[in-house]
Amino acid sequence: MIEISQRQILIDGEPRIVMSGEVHYFRVARAEWSQRLDLLVEAGCDTVATYIPWIFHELPDGTLDVTGETRPERDIGAFIDLAAQKGLRFLARPGPFLMAELKNEGIPYRVYREHPEVVPLGWDGVPVTSSTVDYLAPAFLAESARWFDAIMPVLAPRLQPAGGPVVGVQLDNEIGMLAWVTNSPDLTDGLVASFGEFVRERHGADLPYAAAPGSAEWARAVRSPSEAEAGALRLDLGLFMRQRFAAYVAALRTMCEERGVSGVPFLINIHGTEGGNGAPFPIGISQLVDTYAGIPGMLSGSDHYLGEATLNTMTDLYVMNAFMAAVHDADQPLTSLEFEAGSGDYGAGAEMQYDPSTADLKTRLCLAQGNRLINYYLFAGGINPPLDETVDDGNDRISFTGERHGTAAPVGPEGQRGYAYEATAAAVRAVKANEPWLARMDEDHDDVTLGLVLDAYMTEYHHPGSDVMTEVVDDLTSHRGAGERKALARSLLLGGFRFGATHLERRDPAPGSTVLVGSGRFMSSAVQERLVGHVGSGGNVVLLGRVPQRDLDGRPCTLLADALGIRPQEVLRDGGHYFPSLVARGWAQPWPEMRAGWIEPLEHSRGDVVLTDVYGAVCGLEVELGSGRAIVLAAQLPSDSLFFDRALASLGVTPGLRLETQWPGVFATTTSTSDGQRAVHVINTSGAPASVTVALDGTAISGGASLLVPARSGHILPLGLEVGGRRLDWASAEIAGVDADGTIHFRPGLDEDGGTTVIVDGLPVELPSGENTLRP
């Protein structure tokens, strides 16, 4: 039995962390399936995941083979059964869409030939350049149902509640991603008609469009919007597509349940990283939030490709996890359905090679934030089989990557161990050694939160010829989320703050808390009202970026600025002969003069000045409103933990976790269980060892002794764990395993002399010479 409760995954009543690796049976000869799964088991994983490609199982005549009659690798049931024999659970990813570097994203060529009406038109009626479809087109739903008719009877008797290994089924994959990356909305005739119905319901008689929905002119007005209507159309289209994606996922779920697949979580894979940058990731959350958030039986999972684990990418990952959690309900945990392993180089070549520690460091950060499922993608490479029909596309294989696939995965295409195999296995072993408490732990948070303005990520559709749409999208993209230059989130992390996020369109921040918001000129009236109400009732807000002046559809909206008594002036930007710099005032002093890319001078009727340019133009204010306070920072600021520490201290907020180290790159957080057990997670992303002292809630850990944290390493340090029948108050080393008799094994210690400090039941314990073992 599988339960999702209190952000935990319970399997047969026990909290678990599911550690999975993606192995594509269709890219591996059946005779080699066993060897690949053995390598997965050896690495410590308990689950195997795989796409199940429709394009692979459908033959040119339209028949479907899922039992291996035409090719042994098509016997997907045999692969699932083999995984079960090896003690592995199974995550099924049957599409219909898969991506997975497959031709047509996994959809058979026949579907496009026989149903050209499912292929969308984009802006100006131009056919889209990707292989996307209108998901709710009747013909596509009918074809998807036909595919599910074949594959779901294979999965249903193998579900975990029925005694099988299948613990989750993913519905489609990266829904809406193709439309986002190509900026081509799915404007089929059917979708445009449905959009007209949505517009009528949303606006009633007060339509912002000249053409009546459903009229002959309506399709032209949507596909080629006028500037007068562009602002409203961009917003309406984004809101409509959220509903449409939700309807599509609901239809797929119903198809599954009607075919006997139920009782396990249905999974939604969220895309959004781009070129190693995690800042756009919430675009995927925005597109798909209505498909899973607060819906029983649904889980979302991240899909991230961030490259090397650096201070920059780890900041992205921390924010991504916080934003995912912000839209979940009280039961839905974090998961990751595509967790980049190896180097991300799926075709032949050596263009990318990440330090092997990358998977380990990212895994540790996600576990510290409460992630309960990680699927390493791609764990094992393979060979792309030929298509059953010739399509004259240069290789006539199932994938566009050529013959070999996943050349830099932990396990290579021919089954060889890759350079990242041991590091990935070490990460899995660390998770499994600490699973008994980590599976029940949540991250501790200080009284500070990052504001998620989800509608600021509704930027996937904008007509390239529209100045109105482009202005809004550019503004939102520049300032949202973690703030420009990611200054809000990175400064908090380096300052020792442990923080989550608040979904400001749907939830109020906790009373009296402090919320930090990256803001642009465009912000919805609802969010502005919520921020004003929060401050007025005793909360705090830190605003970094432009002062909001317009609603998301472009109409004037100055609710927040008016409440604070602020009027922004024309922005001053750097250029070839102008170099604006910031000067600290008030509590920000002393702070060195700092170059800024731009400043927005502020006229103000009240408040204390905290930042100006060198000529005295005010761009930073602290303003009282009701019983709360707001800090407005209308300039491009760098990441600076000292500055933001002072800003938050002026609001009465200090971090519960204090790290003292000699350079950036080291950060930490803590997790705890409901019964008070706790662990400290320390991660050093830098290439040099770092001496670190840690204090929690004003008390130095281990008497203030320094820890020597090796370069590019992460550590889970016990701080009050019930282990082996004892209270482990502190250990300067990570637990590597616990024997049945209660013997605790540790990794090498972090004491500066290379040893390990252990405190049990309030008393220091000396480990045997030459051993890192604590015996009963």
> Per residue in 22-70, pLDDT tens?
999 999 999 999 999 999 999 999 999 999 999 999 999 999 999 999 9
Q: Is the pLDDT of residue 344 over 70?
A: no
Do the Cβ atoms of 285 and 238 come closer than 8 Å? no
Give the model's pLDDT for residue 771. Answer: 87
* CATH at residue 591: 3.40.50.880
Distance CA 60, CA 62 (A): 5
Q: Is the pLDDT of residue 504 over 90?
A: yes
Give the model's pLDDT for residue 424. Answer: 96
Determine the average pLDDT of the residues in 474-498.
96
Q: Do 437 and 453 fall within a single domain?
A: no
Cis, peptide link before residue 689, omega less than 30° from 0: no
Give the model's pLDDT for residue 407. Answer: 87
| pLDDT > 70: percent of the chain | 99
Whether 611 is covered by a domain: the verdict is: yes
Among candidate residues 389, 418, 441, the one where a domain is terminated: 441
Cβ-in-10-Å burial (0-12, 13-18, 19+) of 353 comes to middle
Q: ∠ CA 382-385-386 to the nearest 5 degrees?
A: 155
Distance CA 359, CA 426 (A): 10
- Mean pLDDT for all residues in the chain: 96
Whether 329 is covered by a domain: the verdict is: yes
Q: Do 592 and 470 fall within a single domain?
A: yes
Whether 469 is covered by a domain: the verdict is: yes
Q: Do 679 and 640 fall within a single domain?
A: no
Give the model's pLDDT for residue 724. Answer: 86
Q: Do 471 and 610 fall within a single domain?
A: yes
Q: pLDDT by residue (tens digit) across 554-610?
A: 999 999 999 999 999 999 999 989 999 999 999 999 989 999 999 999 999 999 999
Q: Is the pLDDT of residue 769 over 90?
A: no
Q: Do 613 and 750 fall within a single domain?
A: no
Domain count, the chain: 3
Q: Do 412 and 326 fall within a single domain?
A: yes
Among candidate residues 408, 441, 474, the one where a domain is terminated: 441
Determine the average pLDDT of the residues in 299-317.
96
Structure tokens at 669: 């957080």
Whether 131 is covered by a domain: the verdict is: no
Whether 246 is covered by a domain: the verdict is: no
| pLDDT > 90: percent of the chain | 94
Q: pLDDT by residue (tens digit) across 237-262?
A: 999 999 999 999 999 999 999 999 99
Determine the average pLDDT of the residues in 305-330.
96
Give the model's pLDDT for residue 147. Answer: 98
Whether 407 is covered by a domain: the verdict is: yes
Q: Is the pLDDT of residue 2 over 70?
A: yes
Determine the average pLDDT of the residues in 366-373.
98
Q: Do 292 and 318 fall within a single domain?
A: yes
CA dihedral 237, 240, 246, 248 (to 10 degrees): -80
Nearest Cα to 588, choosing from 629, 625, 619? 619
Give the model's pLDDT for residue 309. Answer: 95
Give the model's pLDDT for residue 346. Answer: 66
Distance CA 559, CA 580 (A): 29
Determine the average pLDDT of the residues in 445-465.
97
Distance CA 767, CA 341 (A): 36
Whether 487 is covered by a domain: the verdict is: yes
Give the model's pLDDT for residue 351. Answer: 72
Q: pLDDT by residue (tens digit) across 655-698?
A: 999 989 888 899 999 999 999 999 999 999 999 999 999 999 99
Do the Cβ atoms of 23 and 376 come closer than 8 Å? no
Structure tokens at 616: 């005295």
Distance CA 693, CA 700 (A): 8
Domain that residue 474 falls in? 448-650
Q: Do 321 and 403 fall within a single domain?
A: yes
pTM score over 0.85: yes
Q: pLDDT by residue (tens digit) across 712-740?
A: 999 999 999 999 889 999 999 999 999 99
Give the model's pLDDT for residue 768. Answer: 87
Q: Do 706 and 736 fall within a single domain?
A: yes
Among candidate residues 381, 415, 441, the one where a domain is terminated: 441
Identify each DSSP E strand in 261-342 by its residue range: 266-270, 298-304, 334-340
Q: Do 583 and 612 fall within a single domain?
A: yes
Q: List the end-to-end C-alpha distance of the chain, in Å, as a whole number.
A: 34
Q: Which three-class secondary structure string do you get for 431-497? A: HHHHHHHHCCCEECCCCEEEEECHHHHCCCCCCCCCHHHHHHHHHHHHHCCCCHHHHHHHHHHHCCC
Q: Do 431 and 490 fall within a single domain?
A: no
* CATH at residue 271: 3.20.20.80
Whether 186 is covered by a domain: the verdict is: no
Give the model's pLDDT for residue 352. Answer: 75
Reduced to 3 DSSP states, what percent helix, strand and coil does the chain have, rounded to the nearest 5? 35, 25, 40
Residues in CB range of 586: below 8 A, 6 or more apart? 608, 609, 610, 622
Nearest Cα to 438, choosing from 267, 657, 681, 659? 681
Cis, peptide link before residue 592, omega less than 30° from 0: no
Give the model's pLDDT for residue 174. Answer: 96
Across 207-216, 272-281, 343-352, least confident range: 343-352
Q: Is the pLDDT of residue 77 over 80?
A: yes
Q: Do 395 and 534 fall within a single domain?
A: no
